[in-house]
Amino acid sequence: MRANFNGFASLLHYTRAAHSLGLWQSERRLIERFFPEVSTPLLEAGCGSGRVTMGLWKMGYRRITAFDFAGELLDQARSMAAAQGAEEIVFLHADATDLDRTAFFPQAGDGFGGALFMFNGLMQIPGRQNRRVALLNLSGLCRGGAPLVFTSHDRDRAAHGRAFWRDEAERWASGRQDPRLNEFGDRLGEDESGPVFIHIPDRAEILADLAATGWIHEFDAMRDELADESPAVRDFSDNCRFWVAKRAPASP
């Protein structure tokens, strides 16, 4: 996965989006709703080449810490931030499934006031247990009540349709699934960014993962229920489900 994201096709795809797309309308609306104070210290996981990071900066947020495990994409984000005078943004080379928490504490203080993991970044982590580890790590860096905004696709609303997933379930039940896949819901493919892995959950799976990792479900909706996105955004990404959860209060 790391090699794929550091590849030339991926660099070109995500860097172009960072410069030309900016924030989606749906993203902006949820950011304004759930992060109303621009002084709040925010943590962005899987920042890639900085599309959302720089969108936050342009909205007035100044206490941003962003990280990604793909060093080449991270370099693009740093370059764009420097070119736009956003030297205050802290960029860290880190993996959501294996965070050195001490690296984040100088920026977090008593904990980040919110976190984001956008453009299905969480769902591009292979293995449900690994995704839960990532959620748990983000929970550990946020203060009680801090919102987490992230996206996933939804098997019940996916472009493939329910018939595909019914057939896929039968393949898994009979042992005829693609041997490269780890779990039901995994998909492998290729697009403009190169080879792509993504896990496509159903809603119940996400709710269970949030409950198991210190997050309380707050809100979810499909992107097309939140905003009528531009053709450029719709070309860049299929419809997806936005999730908002809040960090559970610390135990007394």
Within the chain, which residues score under 70 in pLDDT?
1-19, 159-160, 192-193, 251-252
Q: Give the chain's end-to-end CA distance (angstroms, integer).
A: 40
Please report, for the domain that includes residue 219, its CATH number. 3.40.50.150
Show the domain range for 195: 2-247
Tokens of 77: 């984000």
CA 204 to chain centre: 18
Please give the C-alpha separations between residue 175 and each of 48, 148, 167, 170, 179, in angstroms, as whole numbers. 36, 36, 12, 8, 9
The number of folded domains in the chain is: 1
Q: pTM for the whole thing?
A: 0.91
Flag whether 75 is in a domain: yes
Flag whether 252 is in a domain: no
**Amino acid 159: pLDDT:** 63
**Amino acid 11: pLDDT:** 47
* pLDDT tens-digit series, residues 211-224: 999 999 999 999 99
Quick one: CA torsion of 75, 132, 172, 158, rounded to 10 degrees? -60
- E strand intervals along 110-250: 114-117, 147-152, 186-191, 194-199, 215-222, 241-247
